Amino acid sequence: MLRTATLQAFFLLILLLQPAQGQGLPKIRAAYTSIAIQMDPIYIMKELNLPRKHGLEAEMLYIPVSSRAIQSALAGEIQFLTSAGVANINANLAGGDFVGLTATLNTFIFKIVSKPEIKEPKALKGRKVGISRLGGVSDAALRYALDLWGLVPDKDVAIIQVGGEIEEMLALQKGAVDAAVLSEPIATVALRTGSSLLFDLSTLGVPYSMHGFGTRKSFIRDNRYVVLRFMKAYLEGIYLFKTNKELALSVLKKYTRLDDISVMLTAYNEYSQKYIRAVPHPSPEGIQTILDQLAKTRPQVKKFSPNDLIDPTILKEIEESGFVKQLYGR
């Protein structure tokens, strides 16, 4: 009861510190594209209405189809969007001007989970591996790993588009696939229900921009102060995620609808300590990895350099202002 009362008081304090609604604040729309642990800072932003605290009236939307979300962003219907570096590149190939503002996840965070009888990665030859979506990040991560292991994607290993990660896990349990590419917390759920950990892709240490906020270059040019305010709200969401475990788990439970606190805690500890940085600067190296991979089959990407696809100046300006040091009391 005491913990619940404390959490409720915290929410109330945040709300009291915000400007009253209807005071002419700039209005923006922001979209997130999945329900996953890395989105928890965004869920916290939404629950506490942190954009309003920083002088914005924000509508936070869930758009589960990333291609549709990108089109909405390029059309100006939404101003900020979570996306992977590969989606940003595809948007620019189509004539857009979308750039990454952060690299909140800048390495492969997937685990390849398999049937117990598969003991090593090379034993995937002749097998079927489930991924969320062809052309998506789990697909890219799997293809990268298969190349390292000397296995030819789509020839030695069948790559099967299944849907969301829960659908991947169910397909593995039913025997429709022999392995699946999963992130937390679904990976832990799969491991606790009879599957085995075949390989943790994070151990490869590959820089890869697979999750972050982005927007259009033209929007930054015309509304830089709005971008700065929104990114401050996001950095505060990250701060609360990393420093307030009770809040982070409470919000994560609401959005993922998971009831197993131990599963959520495993995911939280891994992401808060290992992956999500206080200031997730966009990564030229993470974009270059994607460009190199795509260039094997899509040579037109060679016209881009990483600096064409990111804007590092926003987080740099915020960090140099002392905002982050103030948040963390440094």
pLDDT tens digits along 116-151:
999 999 999 999 999 988 888 899 999 999 999 999
Q: Is-contact 146 197, C-beta < 8 A? A: no
Convert the pLDDT of each residue in 181-236 to its tens digit: 999 889 999 999 999 999 999 999 999 998 999 999 999 999 999 999 999 999 99
* Angle 136-274-249 from CA coordinates, rounded to 5°: 85
* Token representation of residue 101: 């503002």
Per-residue pLDDT band for 84 (boundaries 50, 70, 90) equals: confident
The letter for the amino acid at 105 is L
pLDDT digits (tens, 9 = 90+) for 298-320: 999 999 999 999 999 999 999 99
Sequence-distant (≥ 6) Cβ neighbours of residue 213 within 8 angstroms: 30, 80, 81, 82, 100, 101, 102, 104, 230, 231, 234
Please compute the mean of the pLDDT values over residues 174-178 and round it to a whole number.
97
- Residue 151 has, within 13 A of its CA and on its CB side, a CA count of 22
Could you tell me which residue, 195 or 65, shows the higher pLDDT?
Answer: 195
Residue ranges in 75-164 assigned as alpha helix (H): 85-93, 137-148
pLDDT at residue 181, rounded to an integer: 97
> 19 Cβ partners below 8 Å, 6+ apart?
25, 52, 53, 55
Higher-pLDDT residue of 166 and 14 is 166
Q: What is the mean pLDDT of residues 52-57?
A: 97
- pLDDT top residue among 20 and 180: 180
Quick one: pLDDT band at residue 12, thresholds 50, 70, 90? low
pLDDT of 7 reads: 56
Rama region for 57: left / alpha / beta (φ>0; ψ in -120 to 50; rest)? beta
- Catalogue all structural domains in the chain, each as residue range(s) with its CATH number: 2-106+208-328 (3.40.190.10), 109-204 (3.40.190.10)
In this prediction, residue 24 carries a pLDDT of: 87
pLDDT for 290 equals 94
Does 17 have pLDDT greater than 80? no
- Note the pTM of the prediction, 2 decimals: 0.87
pLDDT exceeds cutoff 70 at 3: no
Distance CA 201, CA 107 (A): 9
Q: Which residue is listed with tokens 């990564």?
A: 283
pLDDT at 21 over 90: no
Residue 8: is its pLDDT beyond 70?
no
Mean pLDDT of 78-107: 92
Q: What is the mean pLDDT of the chain?
A: 91
Q: Confidence class of residue 22 from pLDDT cuts 50, 70 and 90?
A: very low
The 10s digit of each residue's pLDDT in 267-292 is 999 999 999 999 999 999 999 999 99
- The single-letter DSSP state of residue 278 is S
Assign residue 26 a region (left: φ > 0; alpha: ψ between -120 and 50; beta: otherwise): beta
- Residues of 49-84 as b/e, b for ≥16 C-beta within 10 angstroms? bbbbbbbbbbebbebeebbebbbbbbeeebbbbbbb
Q: What is the pLDDT of residue 142?
A: 96
Helix/strand/coil for 25: coil
Write down the pLDDT at residue 86.
Answer: 86
pLDDT at 18 over 90: no
